[in-house]
Amino acid sequence: MLDSLSKHNRALLQNYQFHLKVEKGLSKNSIESYENDICNLLTQTDKDIEKITNKDIIDFFVTLQEMGLTNTTIARKRSSIRSFLKFLIEEEVGISADVDDIPSIKPSQRLPDVLSVKQMLKLLDSIPNQKPTDIRNKAMLELMYATGIRISETINLSMHNVYWDDKVVRVLGKGGKQRVVLIAQKSLTYLADYFNSARSVLRKDKNTDILFLNRFGNKLSRMGVWKVIDKITTEAGISKHVSPHTFRHSFATHLLEAGANLRAVQMLLGHSSINTTQIYINIDSTFIMQEHRLYHPRG
């Protein structure tokens, strides 16, 4: 994300990253987390850091709330921003923002049903690849995680909605609105495996263009997808509650954690209004310990 910043802002942020690494001893992942949070603010304001005001920062928080981020996530971003501004003050860089007057954010009490990247890959990699239904399940869940499409959009997909050469799927979303979503090559390969082998077995002699079929050759139901996910989750040894929407939440969360643009995620999820976008981020104990190390006088 540094490449998207001005040369001036990039230089200041790189100095801060050096401070976090050498003086505070934070891990690479934690430093990248701070970088993403700060870059989000700098990208939205499009100003030199010295000219960013408290109003700019509050407007940024409002945008995050409109995106549907939990207060826990916004509180983390606030913490990253305040830390950076304090560092600039110590380095005698004149800033317009009043660090002590940045409003506090009360953390949320409940985290949504989101799997970590490691848990999601464990779940997907645990799916067997023997029976036609196994091949279907693999293709379907890989597609849901790769695109963030809803369960209703998944079960209503037609064979004609997949554009193999362009590596995209046309999705009919809420309110009859269509959008095009990209598919990663790996997910496209699993989908092709299903399309070229297992689907014809499941279809039997029925004339249907529905993409994902049950063992009777009919369209999968919502309950059918729920049962598939529940069975695979149990067999993978994952104790968290996992629903079809977990794949959508995890898709958006992992993109944002990796530094994806907030409004780009909104478009990928197919929300016409940014107010309805639901993105959730888990805060793990490692980050909390690193926060303590960064801010506590004895850290």
> Which of 62, 63, 98 is closest to 81 using CA atoms?
98
- Residue 9, CA distances (Å) to 21, 33, 39, 83, 118 in order: 18, 17, 9, 15, 33
Structural tokens at position 287: 């980050």
Sheet holding 168-172, edge to edge: 162-163, 168-172, 178-182
Indicate the Cα dihedral angle 292, 37, 150, 198, nearest 10°: -90
Compute the distance between CA of residue 280 and CA of residue 175 in angstroms, rounded to an integer: 24
Buried b / exposed e along 188-222 (16+ C-beta atoms within 10 A): bebbebbbeebbeebbeeeeeebbbbbeebeebee
Active-site annotation, residues = 150, 174, 245, 248, 271, 280
- Asked whether 117 and 254 are in contact (CB, 8 A), the reply is yes
Would the CA dihedral through 76, 77, 81, 82 be positive or negative?
negative
Compute the distance between CA of residue 4 and CA of residue 17 in angstroms, rounded to an integer: 16
- Asked whether 14 and 91 are in contact (CB, 8 A), the reply is no
- Asked whether 189 and 146 are in contact (CB, 8 A), the reply is no
